[in-house]
Structure 1
C-alpha cells in the first residue's frame, strides 16, 4: 500500500515537484490539497470548463490551434473527485457547449476503455471529426470489475477497428480541404520486456515495451492504409 501510494502521488503525478518538500508527509499534504475540491461537484466543474472554453477557443481559432481535452483517467470518480469527461454523454455535452472544431478531443483508448460500458469503436466514429490527438493502448478486465493494461493489440479495445476509423477520418479531412489532416498519436503505455526490467522509468513508460507497441500500431496502420488505398469503396 505504501509503494502504491508513493507511485501514484510522487512517481506518476510528480506531486512532490514544487509542492511537497523533502521529508514532509506527502500523503497528508496530498489529502489536504484534495479538500480544495470539497465543494466542487460535477455541475460546478462543468461550468468551470465552459468558462475556460469560452475564453480560450476563440484565441485557439485565431492562432490555428486545435484544443483536445484528455478523458478522465480513470473515467469514473476517484478520491471523491467529480468526473466530467469519461463517457459518451460527457463528451457530447462538452462539444455541445462549444461547436467550434477547435474544441476537440484526445482520443485515449486506454482511459476510455477502463469503463466496460464505453464502446470505443462507436465513440471513435461519433467524435472522429473532433479527434486531434490519439493515445493508443489497451485494457483487459478481471472478474472482480478491475482491469489491467494489456498489450496494445490484445484486450477490450478493437484496435483494428479504431485505427481504421481514424485513418478514414484523415482521408475525409483531406477531401474536405481541412488543414488538420494529420492525427498525431503515441503508443502511450507499454509492458516491460527484455532489459526494461533493468532500466529506471515511470510506471507504464518502459523504453522497449513502448517501442514494441509503436511497432505493432505502425504495422497495423500500414496494412489498413494499403487496404484503403486499394479499396476506396470500403471507406465507411
Structure 2
C-alpha cells in the first residue's frame, strides 16, 4: 500500500518536510480555499501539486472535492453545480491527480461530542457519546421529534446529563458538534441547523439514496472518460443522527451504490473507523467482497459501547481486526498485480486516520482535533509494522 498523510494545505501547522520525515510518500489534500460548489481550476490544482512535489512528495488523493448541499437535495442551481463538479474532475485528472474521495453525508460531515476525551494514559482522543448527543438534540437544539429518535434509557440518561451540565459544558458540547458542520462554527444558528435537518428528513432515506445515485450517474461517466477513480467515504458515524437519512453506512449500502452505477470509476473509501463504529459491519469481509472497488483506505480503530457511543482507540487496539483488514487489502493488491501481468497496477493509498493528542503537542497551537503529528506518526509506525509483516506473509503464498 502507498503510505499517505492528510495535509490541510499551506496553512497546516504540520509541514510537508515533517510529513516526509514521517516516512509517508503520498499526500492526501484538498483546495480548502475554494468555495464549495465552485470549479477547481487546473491552474490552482497544478500550483498546489507543484508545492507538494517540490517537497519530494506526491499528491496521491484528493480528499475531497466537497458536494454542495443543493446537489444532495437536488434543489436550487444543482444542475450547474454538477457541471462544475464534472469540470473539477476533468481538471484534477488533467493535472495528474486521479483518485478523488468524497462523501454524501447530510448536514454534518462528521460528528463527535468530545474532541478531548482523556484516556487512562492521559492522551486525548475523539469520542462520540450518545447520551450527550441526545441531550443536545432534545434539550438544546430542541428538534421537532427528537425524542422519538432515542431509546427510553438513552432519553432518561440524556435528561439527567443535561440537568447536571454547566453552561460551559453545554457551550463546549454545541461547539464540538458544530465542528462537523461544513464551514464550522459561526456559519450556523440553531434555527438554520433545524431547517437544514428538516429539509433532508423530508427527502427521506430512499429519496436521498436516489439523489446519490443520480449524482453518480451524472459524474461517473466523466470520471471514467478521464481515468479518475471516485471513492465515497462512509457516513461518520454510520447511523442516523438528528433523524437524518444515512445511505453509506453498511455493506448493503456499499453494494447498492456499486450496483447503481457499475463502472471502474465508481469505488469506495474503506474507512475502518467509520464503518467499524457499527458492530454489524465485518470490515475484513467487506474488504474481501469489495476489494476491487476499494481505491483509498483510512486505517483507524474504535472501541464501541452498547448504546452506540464509541471513542477512537490506538490503531491496533480497538474492536476492529486491523491485522485481518490489512491482510485482505494486501491480498487484493496481490490480485491486481497478477492481473496486471507485469504492467503498472493501482496500488491502494492508505493513511493513518486520526491520532491521539499526546503530551508533546498538548499546548501547541494549530493542532486540529484528530490530526496531531505525533499521534499519527505513532499510528503510521504501528501500521507500517503490520503491513510489512503481513506483506511478507502474503507474498510468500
Same fold (TM over 0.5): yes
Match of 2:171 in 1: 2
**Is contact 1:138-1:155 (8 Å) kept?**
yes
Higher alpha-carbon Rg: 2
Shift of 1:145: 4.0
Which residue pairs with 1:167 in the alignment?
330
Q: Which has the higher strand share?
A: 2
User: In the superposition, relative to structure 1, how do residues 168 and 2 fare at CA in structure 2: closer, same or farther (>3 Å)?
Assistant: same
SS of 1:167's partner is: helix
Long gaps (5+) in structure 1: none
Cα distance 1:111–1:176, how it changes in 2: closer, same or farther (>3 A)? Answer: same
Aligned counterpart, 2:279: 116
How many residue pairs end up in the alignment?
225
Deviations 1:108-157 (A, max 9, x none): 00000111111111111111110000001001123544211110001111
Within 5 A, what are the aligned runs for 1:1-80?
1-9=170-178, 11-16=179-184, 20=187, 26-80=189-243
Partner of 1:218: 384
Shift of residue 16, structure 1, vs aligned partner: 4.0
Q: Distance in 1 between matches of 2:323 and 2:197?
A: 39
Structure 2 portions without partners, runs of 5+: 1-169
Structure 1 CA distance for aligned equivalents of residues 275 and 284 of structure 2: 11
The answer to whether 1:94 aligns with 2:262 is no
The yes-or-no answer on 1:182 pairing with 2:347 is: yes
- Name the CA distance, whole Å, in 2 between partners of 1:160 and 1:16: 35
Q: How far 1:59 moved relative to its partner?
A: 0.6
Query: Residues 231 and 267 of structure 2 are in contact (CA less than 8 Å); yes or no, is this contact kept in structure 1?
Result: yes
Question: What residue in structure 1 maps to residue 19 of structure 2?
Answer: none
Rounded to whole Å, the distance in 2 between the matches of 1:45 and 1:69 is 15
CA distance in 1, matches of 2:182, 2:221: 32
Asked if the contact 1:16–1:26 (Cα under 8 Å) also holds between the matched residues in 2, the reply is no
TM-score when normalising by structure 1: 0.89
- 1:179 CA drift (Å): 5.1
Task: Report if aligned partners of 1:67, 1:102 keep a CA contact under 8 Å in 2.
Answer: yes
Instruction: Tell me: CA distance 1:16–1:161, structure 2 relative to 1, closer, same or farther (3 Å).
Output: closer
Post-superposition shift, 1:69? 0.7
| In the alignment, structure 1 residue 199 sits paired with structure 2 residue 368 | no
TM-score normalised to structure 2 length: 0.54
